[in-house]
Amino acid sequence: MNGKDTKAFEMTILRLVLSGTIGLLLPGYLLSRLLKIKGWELAPSTFMLSTISVFYSILILAYSPLTANFASVSAFLATLSITLLFYLRHKKIRLWEHAIESEPKTVETSVLFIAAPFAILILLRSWMQPMISPDSIFRWQHLAELVFNGASLSFYPPSTADDFLIYPYPDGFPPLASIIYSALYIYAGKIIPSLSSVIVLLQFTACLYYVYHASQTLFGRSSAAISLLSLLLSTTLFFSLFLGQETGWTAVSAAGFFYYAAKNEK
């Protein structure tokens, strides 16, 4: 790697760290605190709420006369974060607060050791073979590239002959997966499909957290451990996540739904 390549690589890492902090951490964390979420529950909720923030920021920019690029997306999310900071201050909600004793305890070390190899496996698999499904090339990946290259989303979902020349598949669902991938490309400054592995890993850990603690809340730690092992051994879950499509978000949403239902029931 020559000096020019090294400098470009360092700039990519810097952009990812800086923008990842702003886009994938701060908005979701502030929204979580606004909802009075605390303790370990902040981790998955920060990820999910930041995902929603990034999705709508790029969606609004892509459908507007503006372009979804590094500057516009960062400005949008920074404005959102500053607004949330002022609102939290107005409501006198602290940014840092420890979990109360009645919350589920931290996952045991043994559980973490069991889950760690599976997490490493799904990270490596999704990094080396990102979005492995054949239709990802002309659907999820293609749409993410279009947004990264500054295209307006006026063609989505396609309804005219000109629309189908740009995007040849008649999708009709919100392009959550593609928008989040385009955000990673915007943050990195280049198209790197393997970056989708970051989202896959976060989805995987969120699923584990929600399932473990939902079972623990309702039935105790022994049942929670069995539920976690069953989840880790599920090839359906593994495939639905590293596939890199909406199935990963569906899995996290379902797990989160049961977690909060169990928490409310308790």
pLDDT in tens for each of the 266 residues of the chain? 555 656 666 666 766 676 666 667 889 999 999 998 888 889 999 999 999 999 999 888 888 888 888 888 888 998 999 999 999 998 888 887 765 544 445 556 777 788 899 999 999 999 998 888 888 888 888 899 998 887 778 888 888 898 888 888 887 778 899 999 999 898 888 888 888 999 999 999 999 999 999 998 898 888 888 899 999 999 899 988 988 888 999 999 999 999 999 988 76
CA 175 to chain centre: 13
Query: What amino acid occupies position 31?
Result: L
Kindly tell me the burial class for residue 233, based on how many C-beta atoms sit within 10 Å of its own C-beta (0-12, 13-18, 19 or more). Answer: exposed
* pLDDT value of residue 120: 94
CB 206 within 8 A of CB 248: no
Q: What are phi and psi of 90, to 5 degrees?
A: -65, -40
Give the H or E element holding residue 121: helix 109-128
CB 199 within 8 A of CB 183: no
* pLDDT value of residue 259: 94
Identify the CA nearest to 166 among candidates 187, 145, 181.
Answer: 145
Q: What is the dihedral of CA 198, 202, 203, 205, to 10 degrees?
A: 140
- Domain range for 68: 3-96+104-265
CA angle (84, 87, 91) in 5-degree steps: 135
* pLDDT value of residue 7: 65
In total, how many domains does the chain have? 1
* pLDDT value of residue 104: 45
Identify the CA nearest to 42 among candidates 123, 96, 101, 107.
Answer: 96
* pLDDT value of residue 51: 92
Kindly tell me the burial class for residue 180, based on how many C-beta atoms sit within 10 Å of its own C-beta (0-12, 13-18, 19 or more). Answer: buried
Helices (H), 137-245: 140-148, 161-166, 176-188, 196-219, 221-232, 235-242
